[in-house]
Amino acid sequence: MALSFASSSISLSKMQSGVWNSGSSCVPRVTVRCCETAKEPPREKPKLQVGSPIIIVEAPKVIKTAASMPCLRANAGLVKPGDVGRIVSRKPKDLWAVRLSIGTYLLDGKYFKALELEEDASD
């Protein structure tokens, strides 16, 4: 989406049906419109969603379990770069519950990326 701005000098005298009418004194007015343009590429769907496979790209220094009583502990080699898991749920502020082979942990999105699986179409 693109925003277009139009500026003109008008005064605000009285309001009729939700729109201010112009008068004689000069007051700047800005109109903002949201419009689609053909030049913009279509937005892609987010790659990360519940059930998506992921791969750890950087080991977090501390990890937090996604249990009902979460436990925060130092990552002593439990979660390593290259570990593969699956997204279980989304939390606020780019925090994800990720199921790994050693358990389910809450990880920030900067520590993993979507794993792109290649499907063989040889029948």
Domain membership flag for residue 45: no
Please report, as a single letter, which amino acid is at residue 38. Answer: A
User: Number of folded domains in the chain?
Assistant: 1
CATH number at residue 103: 2.30.30
Please tell me the predicted confidence (pLDDT) of residue 42. 54
Higher-confidence residue: 93 or 5? Answer: 93
Domain membership flag for residue 74: yes
- The average confidence (pLDDT) of the chain is 74
Q: 98, 60 in Cβ contact below 8 A?
A: no
Higher-confidence residue: 30 or 62? Answer: 62
Range of the domain at 73: 52-114
DSSP secondary structure string, the chain? Answer: -EEEEEEEEEEEEEEETTEEEEEEEEEEEEEEEEE--TTSPPPPPPS--TT-EEEESS--SEEEE-SSS--EEE-SSSS-TT-EEEEEEEETTTEEEEEETTEEEEEEGGGEEE--PPPP---
Measured CA to CA, the distance from residue 72 to residue 64 in angstroms comes to: 4
In the predicted model, is pLDDT for residue 70 greater than 50?
yes
In the predicted model, is pLDDT for residue 57 greater than 90?
yes
Domain membership flag for residue 107: yes
Domain membership flag for residue 43: no
pTM over 0.75: no
